[in-house]
Chains A and B, each alone.
Chain A
Amino acid sequence: MIAEPRSVGRDARAAVITTLAFVTAVALLPPGSYLALLFAWLLLAFAGALLGISPTRLARRGLVALPFVVAAVPIVFLRNDELLWAGTIGPLSLQVSGAGLRIVLTALLKAWISVQASVLLLALASPPSIVTALRRMRLPDVIATSAGLTIRYLELLRDEARRMLRARTARAASPVGVGRERIGGTIAWRARTTGSLVGSLFLRAYSRAQRIEEAAASRGATGSLSVGTLPVADPRLTLKIAGVLALVLALTLAGALLPRL
């Protein structure tokens, strides 16, 4: 997993496969395998340290997935097994299930760890090289080409959208006032304003696509971006994949052998 960060021209297949395998192995760990999850995180932190990312920064990046836990919280209170606590709060009678708590905690930790794995993938390989790697792994050409172009024009169009939003804010089609309690216009009017912004952004994107197409056609493009030469195939790919298998095996063994709570 040691490679030069942001290596555009490199074969990123090993990095992509490692990430997918790691995430899958983590997902396969049974509920309550906190020690195995700790082991998985230590592996990540070690790999991160090799790439120059501090464990605390990595851990903080992992937090983005956590709000999703809202969807899982009900089972803590609605399962009837391994009751840890039951009682009443005001008019509500509540119970806390140990099994439910274990499931939610495990899911949270898995989400947190998996996000960090894909953060490491990005430190290891640039987005275009990930697309190239996926193309080598038989991703259809239409998808690879359109993904490559989406990545290339993403920031440009997002910037355009940001400027349009700022202009809208300046013209007060968004909540105003200290507590943002006063909202301008009716809902339909606000929706129409937003929809018109989306529509005009589409027209800008469309004419940009036409210009790109003309420029590409004038240079003899055939519609696929795969014309360029692929980076040299990683000579140690087989070896690295063997390493990945060992990693997955180690994680699965850790899940099976380490005590669960």
Chain B
Amino acid sequence: MYPQLHIPDGFLSPQISIVLWVATAVLIGIAVRKTSRTDARLIASQPILMGVLGAFIFAAQMFNFPVATGTSGHLLGGVLAGYLLGPWAGTIVMATVIGIQALLFQDGGLLVLGANIFNMGVIGTLGGSFVARGIGTTLGGSRSATILGAGVAAWLAVVAAAGFTTLQLGLSGTTNIAVGLPAMLGVHALIGIGEALITIAALTFIAQTAPDILSGVSAPRKASPVRRLVTGVVIAGGVATLASLFASADPDGLEAVAEQLGFLDAGQSAPFELFPDYTIPGLDGTASTVIAGVLGIIVVIGVLLAFGRIARNRAKS
């Protein structure tokens, strides 16, 4: 028995649940837009394929295998769904699966459903799929490279979902982040190995048995770098805005935890501060917090792009 990721109602504060519902709704809205904009033939087939594959993910979560006595590896399936259907359709499928688990099986709560979809569907599937693509492209873009990328992303997706779950619980005051985070990350670093191995094995099996399906289902389309950048900035900006609004509504959740444990002082001795307390000097109030959040995201994306370019040049030479 390990701490699982489907949060039940009552463990997250209503404020955090609602903020995450909004974030999830926005991202799922974008996903719906993206999937309905594919070519005419796919409009007819996509919902049917998505629906049946939703049932497939559900059933595939039943498969487990023993890692050691007492622990078993099993599948969440987010990155697998993203690889087979594309990141956006995969995200919708996972959101549907998580929603049905809550409504029909009481696995995860209703008010916290937004959070559960955010952690496992959006972070796990959307984030995971883009990470998988990034790794696959960097390694040369062959079939086995993309499958390896999916495996790494699958591990990352499970660990990230566990991390986000713990942070949300911590901000709600129902867990202690300093103790809970290492514990959850540690356990899920192990569980994630199962996820990664199953994802790799399943995709390898499909690639060997029915290569035509895989090339038809997940033909990696090349978006222009500019468009990709714009999409990235828009999504990140939206999340940053939401997050900073929420941060200003409940400014000291994490800090309270830090203070309790007496490591707040340790946290303040950073050598330099770009945006002290997430505000821009000279501006104040919510606007400043939001702008600081957006600027932070832009800086992070810039750094990521620089790394990406370096990695690509390495791969070429």
Contact = CB atoms under 8 A, between A and B. Distances in A.
Contacts of B80: 198
Contact of A147 (B4, B29, B51): B51
Nearest to B35: A142
A115 B8 contact: yes
A54 interface: no
Contact of B180 (A74, A118, A141, A158): A74
A96 interface: no
Interface string B14-55: 100100000000001100100110000001111111111111
B109 A65 contact: yes
Contacts of A225: 47
A150 B64 contact: no
Nearest to B33: A140
A85 interface: no
Contact of A118 (B68, B110, B197): B110
Interface stretch (B203-211, B276-284, B296-304): B203-211
Contact of A72 (B11, B45, B99, B200): B11
B126 interface: no
The dominant DSSP class at the A interface is helix
Contact of B3 (A70, A205, A217, A222): A70
B166 interface: yes
Contacts of A75: 173-176
Interface of B: 1, 3-4, 6-14, 17, 28-29, 32, 35-36, 43-56, 58-60, 62-69, 73, 75, 80, 84, 92-93, 95-97, 99-100, 102-104, 106-107, 109-111, 165-166, 169, 173-176, 178-180, 184, 194, 197-206, 209-210, 213, 260-261
Contacts of A115: 8-9, 106, 109
Given A143-B28, A195-B200, A209-B49, A74 B176 contact: yes
Nearest to B52: A209
Contacts, number: 301
A195 B201 contact: yes
Contacts of B17: 27
B283 to A, nearest CB: 33
A200 B209 contact: yes
B92 A146 contact: yes
A199 interface: yes
B260 A118 contact: no
Interface of A: 19-20, 23-24, 26-28, 61, 64-65, 67-68, 70-72, 74-75, 78-80, 103-104, 106-115, 117-119, 121-122, 127, 130, 140-143, 145-154, 156-158, 160-162, 164-165, 173-175, 180-181, 183, 187-188, 190-203, 205-206, 208-209, 212-213, 216-217, 221-225
A194 B47 contact: no
A63 B284 CA distance: 47
Interface centre among B35, B46, B54, B69 (most CB of A within 10 A): B54
A140 B110 CA distance: 18
The DSSP consensus for interface residues of chain B is helix
B111 A20 contact: yes
A27 B209 contact: no
Nearest to B197: A191
Contact of A143 (B1, B95, B174): B95
**Residue among A141, A206, A216 having the largest count of chain B Cβ atoms under 10 Å:** A206
Contacts of B205: 195-196, 198-200
Given A111-B8, A140-B32, A20 B110 contact: yes
A144 to B, nearest CB: 9
Contacts of B43: 223
A27 B7 CA distance: 13
B52 A161 contact: no
A68 B198 contact: no
Nearest to B194: A191
A199 B209 contact: yes
Contacts of A180: 66, 69
A150 B54 contact: yes
Contacts of A213: 44-45, 48-49
Contacts of B65: 173-174, 190-191, 193-194
A188 B69 contact: no
Contact of B201 (A71, A142, A149, A192): A192
Nearest to B47: A145
Nearest to B61: A161
A195 B77 CA distance: 11
Instruction: State the 5 A-B residue pairs at the shortest beta-carbon distance, nearest first.
Output: A195-B201, A149-B51, A110-B10, A199-B205, A150-B54
A193 B53 CA distance: 21
Nearest to A62: B106
19 contacts: A20-B110, A27-B111, A64-B107, A68-B6, A71-B3, A71-B180, A72-B169, A110-B9, A114-B109, A121-B103, A127-B103, A142-B36, A149-B48, A165-B62, A190-B65, A191-B197, A195-B203, A209-B48, A225-B47
A138 to B, nearest CB: 11
Contacts of A193: 65, 201
Given A111-B11, A175-B69, A206-B213, A64 B174 contact: no
Given A198-B198, A223-B46, A165 B206 contact: no
